[in-house]
């Protein structure tokens, strides 16, 4: 049906109009449950809702970009830390996902006894709902009662203050999130690898290519589109992945593991019994949204560029 592109608008409308009927329900749902709340959030971020004088919860005013201005000029270190943490969190996780996923997929892609059993077992963490396992992980990292320190003690290592010092908190977050996600990445890469024609490898090994150069010259080029696609989607997802940080560290200690989304949530719902700061929360949501949009545009544009370049 590609030839329709050349037809006139009226002709296409006459033939394709049922599409609008099929899209009507989803459009209504998205306008009411996404577009309007997003617009509302942008509006709230430009008011003194929750940050103004007492009683402003009911009577808030439009203040333009004052919230943004205040944070950028008075709390620039907080903003910089949130930006840094968000990128560190998403970038670090994706690097680990790709590393572990690719490595395990390579190992699983060779003829091995018990391969199916390994694959099924490796997939199990992914089958459990993340919210539930995260609650348990939070307990496992506990300094006094957590099983991880328990195991460390049993093999003669002193307890580690996992969630109480910045470096260890990041380590705990990364390990937990790798546990949650590496099954998916392993399976995706394995599926892609299994689609590579086997005779390519045979031809290469007759020509005397070793395992490493086979990987570099055959496997990697085949995987590249998948790596780019999965990497980008994973990055965007992790950038806004709320529950691991909220349930494990809640941004702490201090602000050291706080990202935009957790900061926004705790501002809105008054962490430690503080008053809700809806306008600041909304502002952090908007900043998060803007960063994600810019990133997406840049990456899509960059991927197009490299594709045209290499072909």
Cβ atoms of 182 and 101 closer than 8 Å: yes
Cβ atoms of 209 and 178 closer than 8 Å: no
The pair of structure tokens assigned to 66 is: 């004052």
Q: What is the DSSP letter of 165?
A: S
Question: Residues touching another protein: how many (CB under 8 A)?
Answer: 96
> Is position 131 an interface residue for another protein (rule: CB under 8 A)?
yes
Given the rule CB under 8 A, which of 66-74, 88-96, 112-120, 162-170 is the region that contacts another protein? 112-120
> Is position 58 an interface residue for another protein (rule: CB under 8 A)?
no
Is the bond preceding 257 in cis, omega lying within 30 degrees of 0? no
Closer of 166 and 240 to another protein (Cβ): 240
> Is position 212 an interface residue for another protein (rule: CB under 8 A)?
no
Pattern 219-258, another protein, x by CB under 8 A: -----xxx-xxx--x--x---x-xx---------------
173-202 residues in contact with another protein (CB under 8 A) are 179, 182-184, 187-188, 191-192, 195
Phi, psi of 145 (to 5 degrees): -110, -5
Given the rule CB under 8 A, which of 34-42, 66-74, 156-164, 248-256 is the region that contacts another protein? 34-42
- What CA–CA distances, in Å, run from 182 to 60, 128, 166, 258? 46, 13, 24, 23
The closest of 96, 119, 95, 97 to 108, measured between CA atoms, is 119
Given the rule CB under 8 A, which of 15-23, 64-72, 73-81, 166-174 is the region that contacts another protein? 15-23
> Is position 302 an interface residue for another protein (rule: CB under 8 A)?
no
> Is position 41 an interface residue for another protein (rule: CB under 8 A)?
yes
Phi, psi of 176 (to 5 degrees): -60, -45
Closer of 89 and 182 to another protein (Cβ): 182
């Amino acid at each position: 049906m590609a030839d329709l592109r050349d037809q006139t608008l009226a002709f296409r409308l006459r033939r394709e109009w049922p599409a609008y009927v099929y899209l009507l329900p989803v459009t209504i749902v998205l306008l009411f449950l996404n577009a309007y709340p997003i617009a509302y959030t942008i509006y709230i971020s430009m008011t003194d809702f929750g940050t103004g004088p007492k009683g402003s919860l009911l009577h808030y005013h439009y203040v333009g970009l004052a919230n943004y201005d205040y944070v950028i000029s008075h709390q620039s270190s907080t903003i910089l830390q949130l930006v840094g943490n968000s990128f560190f969190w998403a970038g670090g996780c994706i690097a680990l996902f790709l590393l572990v996923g690719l490595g395990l997929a390579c190992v699983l892609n060779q003829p091995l006894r018990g391969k199916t059993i390994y694959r099924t077992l490796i997939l199990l963490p992914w089958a459990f709902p993340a919210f539930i396992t995260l609650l348990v992980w939070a307990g496992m990292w506990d300094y006094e009662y957590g099983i991880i320190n328990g195991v460390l003690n049993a093999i003669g290592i002193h307890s580690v203050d996992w969630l109480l010092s910045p470096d260890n908190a990041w380590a705990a977050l990364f390990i937990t999130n790798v546990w949650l996600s590496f099954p998916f990445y392993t399976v995706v890469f394995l599926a892609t690898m299994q689609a590579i024609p086997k005779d390519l490898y045979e031809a290469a090994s007759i020509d005397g290519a070793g395992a490493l150069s086979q990987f570099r010259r055959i496997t990697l080029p085949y995987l590249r589109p998948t790596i780019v696609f999965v990497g980008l989607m994973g990055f965007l997802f992790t950038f806004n992945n709320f529950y691991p940080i909220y349930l494990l560290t809640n941004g702490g200690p201090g602000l050291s593991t706080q990202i935009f989304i957790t900061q926004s949530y705790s501002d809105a719902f008054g962490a430690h019994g503080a008053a809700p700061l809806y306008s600041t929360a909304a502002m952090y949501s908007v900043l998060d949204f803007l960063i994600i949009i810019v990133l997406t545009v840049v990456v899509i544009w960059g991927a197009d560029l490299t594709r045209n370049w290499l072909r």
